Structure 1
């Protein structure tokens, strides 16, 4: 296993997610993230790492820790550039959930899911861009982290 990876991720618990579907989306993102990721904060001792994600005063906090939970570095990003994508993602997830509950045609559900994947990709690209030079990520890690950022935002 490569050292530059996450072995644990924790989200700031400031409320429940709005639905079982949103909770399942969050849980799957964590499971997939821990199964395979690339997380390389330059200048820090070799990993693996634990990551505590939180929202504080309209900012996204990446609290990077050693495997034994020793704090290593906190990185703070403005949430503003992500707000539209987070809002759109929440609406698409809600539409998907509603379509499934209503027994919509499979084609409609797939179209909504394609929109969700597109927003995921856009969010991952923005996250990679905002973290460039601060944390090295692969695209799949960024996609899953974006899901968790959206989950955090839904809890406030």
Structure 2
């Protein structure tokens, strides 16, 4: 399918169930949303292709709710994704990110690069798991899955 006929997200809204966080975390959430909207492929299965969608995310009982709407705001479908399978990978991602930020202050460039390669590997694992869990519900390209996984991680980041 050509780039011109792909479906995409034009807006992402976080439901009040997500909760508010510190200004730094809110900034990271805004950046993650901006990056995702800037470039994405988002094709809900069974809905028209070559259209734009709005996505409202909510957290309900350890599940991420994808409320998918038309560009005009009309409710189209809802998908619910258990976050339990992501628990370990999100924890690992945060741990390696902490190591990376600590290494920036004191490690050698080769040590920093090694940690960053590990961080990217865990990030890739998370985005692949996301694509698998959304299989048959929403088609995402690799980059969109990576950006959406980043947003999911940032939603878990409290401080």
| TM-score under structure 2 length normalisation | 0.83
Is it true that 1:8 corresponds to 2:4 in the alignment?
no
Is it true that 1:36 corresponds to 2:39 in the alignment?
yes
TM-superposition CA deviations, 1:65-118 (whole Å, max 9, x none):
111222221110111111100111111122222222x24322222222111110
Change (3 A) 1:88 1:153: same
TM-superposition CA deviations, 1:100-148 (whole Å, max 9, x none):
2x24322222222111110111111111111111111111111110111
Q: Distance in 1 between matches of 2:27 and 2:126?
A: 19
Give matches, 1:52-131, under 5 Å: 52-100=56-104, 102-131=105-134
Q: Distance in 2 between matches of 1:116 and 1:24?
A: 21
Secondary structure of 1:9's aligned partner = strand
| TM-score under structure 1 length normalisation | 0.85
Q: Distance in 2 between matches of 1:132 and 1:149?
A: 17
Deviates more, 1:104-113 or 1:76-85: 104-113
Structure 2 residue ranges without an equivalent (≥5): none
**Per chain length, whose mean CA-contact separation is higher, i.e. which structure has more relative contact order (CA < 8 Å, sep 6+)?**
1
The alpha carbon displacement at 1:23 in A equals 5.9
CA contact (8 A) 1:64 1:72 kept: yes
CA contact (8 A) 1:4 1:39 kept: yes
Alignment length (residue pairs): 153
Secondary structure of 2:81's aligned partner = strand
Change (3 A) 1:9 1:127: same
Structure 1 residue ranges without an equivalent (≥5): none
